[in-house]
Amino acid sequence: MKLNHKNKLNYKILLFLLMFSLNIILGFNENTVVYADENEKAEINSLVVDEDNYEQFMKETVEPYLDSKRLEGYLKINNDINLYYQKYKIENSKGTIVISHGFGETLEKYREMIYYFLCNGYSVFGIEHRGHGRSGSLGVVDKSQIHIEDFNLYISDFKSFMDEVVKSEIGDEKLFLFAHSMGGAIGTKFLEEYPDYFDASILNAPMLEVNTGDFPEFIAEAISWICTILPFGDKYAPTQKPYSNKYSVEDSCTSSEPRYKYYYNIQSNNKEFQRGGASYSWLKESLDITEEITEKENASKVETPVLLFQAEKDTYVKPRGQNEFAQYAKKCKVILMSGSKHEIYREKNGILKAYLNRVFDFYNNNL
């Protein structure tokens, strides 16, 4: 069909109005997905540790620097749990970043990130969640098992840490959250219950929907519920096993072998850091809490600006729960990291540089 002059004019007007409307919609949509560019250039790039000389730089530069700044302690909870924490305070800091780590992790896995935070002018506090690292084992079958009877204990622990350790020391400084995976579920629930604590938050591949593998989620929910009702809640869930020191970059959460090898050596030589799979009870609690977190009535309580990173090659958590949360939270932007596995903060440099640029742009813009 040929368009006459009048039709062409109407077509152009219609196209203009359509594009104008689309720009308005996107301009007001806080949850727009942005694809990070691996080739982004910023000052942070020169700070990123060279993978070809990774272990040497970590041992000769990063570790001594962190050792000179670190203070550590324990927070007693109900006379039976001692939560290990670290703090790194620098003079004239821009603000304070609080780390909430992931499933089976310790703060030692965050040495490189803590180094970047400090070098960019931020003080850092971090806690090892109950059942992890130096906060002690809760495993029943063996000490490497990760077990919890109520996921909300993680949140109440984090609240105690914030009140008794962090907020008592930082004064009027801006306060930021950096939460990964399981720690992202803890952090998200905390943001929903206590929306006034943090000035801005980063959720790094947050566990807002568990990847239950070959089992559909409703099957995993039913099995974990039944086994918890029966006296099997403290047994290993399907496919879950004790800690193994098998070396396998391919099966890991990062595609950076130097970073994988560095923490592998730390973990292999320290029994406190060796954690394996989850119990039925942990699985049930995690499935329950992630469903609760992503409900509209709860996610909409989060007023804090949130930057949520998704990993394109994530095999540990699913994006649907993250997208649901982002849809309902008031100020949440989603960034999909192309080519990244679950641990974006430990990825190869091409991905890590783009990621870190986004991280510090976000924190700096919320000062």
Using a pLDDT cut of 70, give the percent of the chain over it.
Answer: 89
Residue 24 inside a domain? The answer is: no
Residue 245 inside a domain? The answer is: yes
Residue 151 inside a domain? The answer is: yes
Residue 219 inside a domain? The answer is: yes
Place of tokens 């070809």: 52
Give me the number of domains the chain comprises.
Answer: 1
- The per-residue pLDDT for 15 is 45
Of all helices (H) and strands (E), which one includes residue 286?
Answer: helix 280-293
Residue 308 inside a domain? The answer is: yes
Residue 21 inside a domain? The answer is: no
Long-range contacts, stretch 289-295, CB < 8 angstroms, 24+ apart: 289/151, 289/152, 289/185, 289/189, 290/185, 290/207, 290/208, 290/209, 290/210, 290/321, 292/189, 293/185, 293/188, 293/189, 293/192, 293/208, 293/321, 293/325, 294/208, 294/209, 294/321, 294/324, 294/325, 294/328
pTM of the model: 0.89
Residue 9 inside a domain? The answer is: no
Which residue range is the domain that position 221 belongs to?
A: 31-365
List the CATH number of the domain containing 356.
Answer: 3.40.50.1820
Of all helices (H) and strands (E), which one includes residue 140?
Answer: none
- The per-residue pLDDT for 215 is 81
Residue 258 inside a domain? The answer is: yes
pLDDT, average across residues 23-40: 44
Lowest pLDDT segment from 18-32, 131-145, 175-189: 18-32
Q: 213: left (phi > 0), else alpha (psi -120 to 50), else beta?
A: left
Using a pLDDT cut of 90, give the percent of the chain over it.
Answer: 83
Give per-residue pLDDT as tens, 84-141. Answer: 999 999 999 999 999 999 999 999 999 999 999 999 999 999 999 999 999 999 999 9
